[in-house]
A and B are shown apart, each in its own frame.
Chain A
């Protein structure tokens, strides 16, 4: 009795929030309803006694996938008027795709055959003291280990593919070579100079920077200046050569 009430509560909220995912006007609200739907699905798993699946659903879908959804949706500047404009143009397309899917589903279900004695098939969970997590592990890592491994390989290929498609070297922004940074010593960073009165350190727009770490050890191009060491210990009187540095108006 109690189980049934809980089941119907979860199921109702699940269906309602799934509907809201589609119909909510604000895309962020859609994703939040999606999260609610995931939660209720996890609740249904719990009611069914599959606690491992419920927790994995929450960890993977709510904790990782939906966070990335939310991340993207929040960063995108979605224009609602534009979307509605597109809706009218693409409505026939959408309807066509929906109809095809519906027809296929109808075809599939009309030929769906359920085995007669499905309930009497012995479950893999054999020993009574065994948790369903352990039983799941047995099935996945013992009986279907090759399928499991090939799933992993497919995911690996997808991951490498995504990286190959999106990773490209951009010569913008400052980057730091972490090994060289760790190799720095005080002698590299600090230079004692005798500065003539009234002249200052004229090179590099009035700034004096440690040769080793700033001009030599920085990743080439990441500072936007040509890495060219300034003669040490001798202030240069000419106009600043390393103009386009990041320290504001003194440069030019």
Chain B
């Protein structure tokens, strides 16, 4: 049996598909329940009840929403570019899924344990802007177009600081492999020595996923609903799922880069009993809770404030921190010497 899966071509294909399903099915279930959790958590923060009709405590609400979304009619606006209009949500959704191929859930547990894992994640997340931009343009609508342009400018701006923060983490690790990055945090998680970068990365992740308080691309008070104003039914659903899957992905990146991935906080008995994947899931859920918490707490940024924060605050800060990290590592002789650790 093991021979069939590991050494024949068909077996390997089947194995890869099974591995992908083992990641994607929990991810999609998680996305479905994240929408419910967001409504419940925000309701609790605002002294409301939230969805409580479908099933006990509203647990079936996610499926009710899904069925509603699927059975609605898909409306394609006249003058829209049909192919690109339908391609954009598909792109957003599939990119959010594709990135999970390299996320390690335990030591060596990744679908693809590649050498340039971080760069792959960066590449995939920088492609996310196309779904939004194409959707805005193909809708043939002013509001959608303005939303798309805003989103593109915002995501490109915050990618710069995300990239520089990742570089300072990589300096301390000496490898681009995500597995090595987690293993380098055996003794101390990077969120402690690099606390400012942790905060900058988290805030940039909020901006990168177009979440509140940086949800200007869909600012309903100015742009109706921003880039997806013309979308309905399943196409809208794909955007929705893609956005939440991106939140999962960004939380996963925060967990792996700064919160020690699958590693327990301290490597002693009661903590090491809990298996690694559960630690990773717990960290991701914690980050997602903070995402929702931020949304329920802060008002939306103005556009010039958003750009100022990205270019005039985060970019210089992360650049200076990168130079400081490199200097510190070189001065103390802690600089890791290339290659696999």
- Does A28 reach chain B (CB closer than 8 Å)? yes
What's the tally of chain A residues with a CB closer than 8 Å to chain B? Answer: 29
The complex places the Cα of A176 from the Cα of B176 at a distance, in Å, of 41
Within 8 Å CB of B123, what residues of A? 55, 58-59, 62-63
Name the one of B116, B153, B338 contacting A52, with C-beta atoms under 8 angstroms: B116
Within 8 Å CB of A175, what residues of B? 304
Contact with B along A49-61 (1 / 0, CB 8 A): 0011001101100
B133 touches A70 (CB 8 A): yes
B340 touches A131 (CB 8 A): yes
B120 touches A55 (CB 8 A): yes
User: Which residues 54-112 of A have a CB within 8 angstroms of B?
Assistant: 55-56, 58-59, 62-64, 67-68, 70-71, 74-75
Name the one of A28, A134, A178 contacting B338, with C-beta atoms under 8 angstroms: A134
A52-B116, A58-B127 as given contacts; A176 in contact with B339, CB under 8 Å? no
- Does A35 reach chain B (CB closer than 8 Å)? yes
Name the one of B120, B176, B338 contacting A130, with C-beta atoms under 8 angstroms: B338
Within 8 Å CB of A131, what residues of B? 115, 176, 339-340
Contact with A along B102-130 (1 / 0, CB 8 A): 00000000000011100110110011011
The complex places the Cα of A51 from the Cα of B119 at a distance, in Å, of 10
- Does B68 reach chain A (CB closer than 8 Å)? no
- Does A137 reach chain B (CB closer than 8 Å)? yes
A74 touches B130 (CB 8 A): no
User: Which residues 302-341 of B have a CB within 8 angstroms of A?
Assistant: 304, 308, 338-340
The complex places the Cα of A52 from the Cα of B115 at a distance, in Å, of 9
Name the residue of chain A whose CB is nearest to the CB of B117: A55
Within 8 Å CB of A137, what residues of B? 338
Within 8 Å CB of B236, what residues of A? none
- Does B156 reach chain A (CB closer than 8 Å)? yes
A67 touches B338 (CB 8 A): no
Q: Nearest-CB distance from A124 to chain B (Å)?
A: 13
B156 touches A64 (CB 8 A): yes
A51 touches B115 (CB 8 A): yes
A133 touches B116 (CB 8 A): yes
Name the one of A32, A64, A70, A133 contacting B115, with C-beta atoms under 8 angstroms: A133
Within 8 Å CB of B116, what residues of A? 51-52, 55, 133
A35 touches B338 (CB 8 A): no
Q: Nearest-CB distance from A171 to chain B (Å)?
A: 16
Within 8 Å CB of A133, what residues of B? 115-116, 176
Within 8 Å CB of A178, what residues of B? 308
The main secondary structure of chain B at its interface with chain A is helix
- Does B159 reach chain A (CB closer than 8 Å)? yes
Contact with A along B72-116 (1 / 0, CB 8 A): 000000000000100000000000000000000000000000111
Q: Nearest-CB distance from B245 to chain A (Å)?
A: 19
A56 touches B119 (CB 8 A): yes
A129 touches B120 (CB 8 A): no
B137 touches A74 (CB 8 A): yes
Contact with A along B141-175 (1 / 0, CB 8 A): 00001000100110010010001000000000000
The complex places the Cα of A198 from the Cα of B198 at a distance, in Å, of 57
The complex places the Cα of A130 from the Cα of B338 at a distance, in Å, of 8
A67 touches B129 (CB 8 A): yes
A62 touches B137 (CB 8 A): no
A71-B152, A74-B137, A131-B115 as given contacts; A64 in contact with B126, CB under 8 Å? yes
The complex places the Cα of A51 from the Cα of B115 at a distance, in Å, of 8
B122 touches A129 (CB 8 A): no
A28 touches B119 (CB 8 A): no
Closest 9 pairs between A and B when the two form their complex, measured CB to CB: A63-B126, A55-B119, A58-B123, A134-B338, A131-B115, A59-B123, A51-B116, A55-B116, A74-B137
**Chain A to chain B contacts (Cβ below 8 Å), 26 pairs:** A52-B116, A52-B176, A55-B119, A55-B120, A56-B119, A58-B126, A59-B122, A63-B122, A63-B123, A63-B127, A63-B156, A63-B159, A67-B130, A67-B156, A68-B156, A70-B130, A70-B133, A71-B133, A71-B153, A74-B137, A75-B149, A130-B339, A131-B340, A133-B115, A133-B116, A133-B176
